[in-house]
Structure 1
Amino acid sequence: MGANPLRGEAELRVGGDALVLRPSFAALVAAESELGPLFALVERAADGRLALSEMAALFWHCVKDRPAALTREAVGDAVVAGGLAAVTPALRVLLGQILQGR
């Protein structure tokens, strides 16, 4: 089942698989505990200062129904392999959800 934009979900391709990213409360709390305040994360992204590791961490925490075989390294590798242009739409959705809430 694909990402549902009405639920604020996005899609990320990792190793040929499409993962659904859902910025649930639990996912955002986990991301915030690792990355610091989410509004600061959004500000860094807006200023073009979001680190690759921060982006991969946000994606990792937001993977819905994370497959047991999926590793955090694979998520980071997918970000690098796909390039910033490929992952920007997913990042934009997640950052928008942080700002808007749903």
Structure 2
Amino acid sequence: MTAPANPARGEAAIRVAGEMLVLRPSFAALVAAEQELGPLFALVERAASGGLALGEMVALFWHCLDAPPEGLTRDRLGEAVAAGGLAAATPALRVLLGQILAGR
């Protein structure tokens, strides 16, 4: 069983396919996301202007996943996020973007 998200560490939680996943924006996770997605500040700007693509959001979530459940692939994560709807994913995205801007 995964421990709940710890807001003091900048963690967020998202329910995916009935399971609560913890997203931890560690330095290593954000570096990996930046290598794939480009500068994180530009990612935040795209999100603020409504231009963040679903694939970018899933990539950020994937890199920030803490202890992903066995069998979870990036494609499955993407399908589950899409099935759950953007409104359900937005709170976790907001936390991660806030951590990118504010740091810890």
TM-score class normalised by the smaller sequence? over 0.9
Q: Distance in 2 between matches of 1:82 and 1:68?
A: 20
Q: Which runs of 5+ in 1 are unaligned?
A: none
What is the percent sequence identity of the aligned residues? 75
- What number of residue pairs does the alignment pair up? 102
Secondary structure of 2:101's match?
helix
The answer for the alignment partner of 2:58 in structure 1 is 56
Native 8 Å contact 1:10 1:20 kept in 2: yes
Where has structure 1 moved over 4 Å in runs of 4 or more?
A: none
Q: Distance in 2 between matches of 1:10 and 1:74?
A: 19
The answer for the alignment partner of 1:99 in structure 2 is 101
Q: Tell me the amino acid that sits aligned with residue 81 of structure 1.
A: A
Native 8 Å contact 1:14 1:74 kept in 2: no
1:26-53 Cα deviation digits (max 9, x unpaired): 0000000000000000000000000000
The answer for the alignment partner of 2:84 in structure 1 is 82
The answer for the alignment partner of 2:34 in structure 1 is 32
Range that drifts further, 67-76 or 42-51: 67-76
Range that drifts further, 91-100 or 79-88: 79-88
Range that drifts further, 16-25 or 67-76: 67-76
Q: TM-score normalized by structure 2?
A: 0.94
Q: Tell me the amino acid that sits aligned with residue 32 of structure 1.
A: E
Q: Which runs of 5+ in 2 are unaligned?
A: none
The answer for the alignment partner of 2:74 in structure 1 is 72
Secondary structure of 1:3's match?
coil
Deviation at 1:75, TM superposition (A): 1.1
RMSD: 0.8
Q: TM-score normalized by structure 1?
A: 0.96
